[in-house]
Structure 1
Amino acid sequence: MSSEEGLSSTITDWLFINSWWLLLPFIMLLVVAAFIVAFVLLLYMISPLISPKPLKLNGAHVVVTGGSSGIGKCIAIECYRQGAFITLVARDEVKLLQAKKEVEKFAINDKQVVLCISVDVSSDYSQVESVIKQAQEKLGPVDMLVNCAGTSISGKFEEVEVDRFKKLMEVNYLGSVYPTRAVITTMKERRMGRIMFVSSQAGQIGLFGYTAYSPSKFALRGLAESLQMEIKPYNIYVTVAYPPDTDTPGLAEENKTKPLETKLISETSGVCQPDQVAKIVVRDAVQGNFNSSVGPDGYMLSALTCGMSPVTSITEGLQQIVTMGLFRTIALFYLGSFDSIVRRCMIQREQLRAADKRE
Structure 2
Amino acid sequence: MFLYVIFIVIFILLALLYLVFKIISPKCVELQGSHVLITGGSSGIGKALAIEAVKQGANVTIIARNEKKLEDAKKEIESHIKDRAIQRVFTTSVDITKDADIVKEAVNKAEKELGPITILINNAGSAVAGRFEETSSQQFQRMIELNFLGSVNVTKAAIKGMKENNGGRIVFISSQAGQVGVFGYTAYSASKFALRGFAESLQMEVKPYNIYVTMAFPPDTDTPGLAEENKSKPRETILISDTVGLFSPSDVAKSVFTDAMNGKFLSYVGMDGWLLCTLSSGMSPATSVVDLLQQIFTMGICRFVCQFYLFHFDRIIGKCKREKDSKMKSS
Q: TM-score range by the shorter chain?
A: over 0.9
Which residue does 1:318 correspond to in 2? Answer: 293
The one-letter code matched in structure 1 to 2:142 is K
Which residue does 1:49 correspond to in 2? Answer: 23
Q: Using the TM superposition, name which of 91-100 and 40-49 deviates more.
A: 40-49
Cα deviation, 1:27-71, whole Å, max 9, x if unaligned, reads 433443454345445544553322101111101011000000000
Which residue does 2:42 correspond to in 1? Answer: 68
Two-structure CA RMSD over aligned residues (Å): 1.3
Cα deviation, 1:176-226, whole Å, max 9, x if unaligned, reads 001100010111111111100000000000010000100010110011001
Partner residue of 2:153 out of 160, 170, 178: 178
2:81 equivalent to 1:107: yes
What SS is found at the alignment partner of 2:36?
strand
The one-letter code matched in structure 2 to 1:259 is P
Partner residue of 1:290 out of 265, 272, 291: 265
Tell me by how many angstroms 1:172 deviates.
0.5
Which residue does 1:119 correspond to in 2? Answer: 94
Which has the greater radius of gyration?
1
Cα deviation, 1:59-109, whole Å, max 9, x if unaligned, reads 101100000000000111111111111001001111111111111111121
Which residue does 2:217 correspond to in 1? Answer: 242
Identity of aligned residues (%): 52
Partner residue of 1:346 out of 311, 321, 327: 321
Instruction: Describe how 1:181-200 pairs up with structure 2 within 5 A.
Output: 181-200=156-175
Which residue does 2:71 correspond to in 1? Answer: 97
Total equivalences in the alignment: 330
Tell me by how many angstroms 1:311 deviates.
0.9
Which residue does 1:208 correspond to in 2? Answer: 183
Q: Distance in 1 between matches of 2:135 and 2:246?
A: 25
2:146 equivalent to 1:166: no
Which residue does 1:303 correspond to in 2? Answer: 278
The one-letter code matched in structure 1 to 2:136 is E
What SS is found at the alignment partner of 1:306?
coil
Q: Distance in 2 between matches of 1:60 and 1:335?
A: 43
Which residue does 2:55 correspond to in 1? Answer: 81
Partner residue of 2:302 out of 298, 305, 327: 327
TM superposition score normalised by structure 1: 0.89
Q: Distance in 1 between matches of 2:160 and 2:13?
A: 40
Q: Distance in 1 between matches of 2:59 and 2:65?
A: 20
Cα deviation, 1:318-343, whole Å, max 9, x if unaligned, reads 21110110100000111111111111
Which residue does 1:4 correspond to in 2? Answer: none
Which residue does 1:151 correspond to in 2? Answer: 126
What SS is found at the alignment partner of 1:240?
strand
The one-letter code matched in structure 2 to 1:89 is I
Q: Distance in 1 between matches of 2:33 and 2:64?
A: 23
- Check whether the contact 1:47–1:315 (CA below 8 A) recurs between aligned residues: no
What runs of 5+ residues in structure 1 fail to find an aligned partner? 1-26
TM superposition score normalised by structure 2: 0.97
Which residue does 2:238 correspond to in 1? Answer: 263
Q: Distance in 1 between matches of 2:224 and 2:15?
A: 45
Q: Distance in 1 between matches of 2:202 and 2:192?
A: 16
Q: Distance in 1 between matches of 2:54 and 2:89?
A: 9
What runs of 5+ residues in structure 2 fail to find an aligned partner? none
- Check whether the contact 1:43–1:315 (CA below 8 A) recurs between aligned residues: no
Which residue does 2:115 correspond to in 1? Answer: 140
What SS is found at the alignment partner of 1:64?
strand
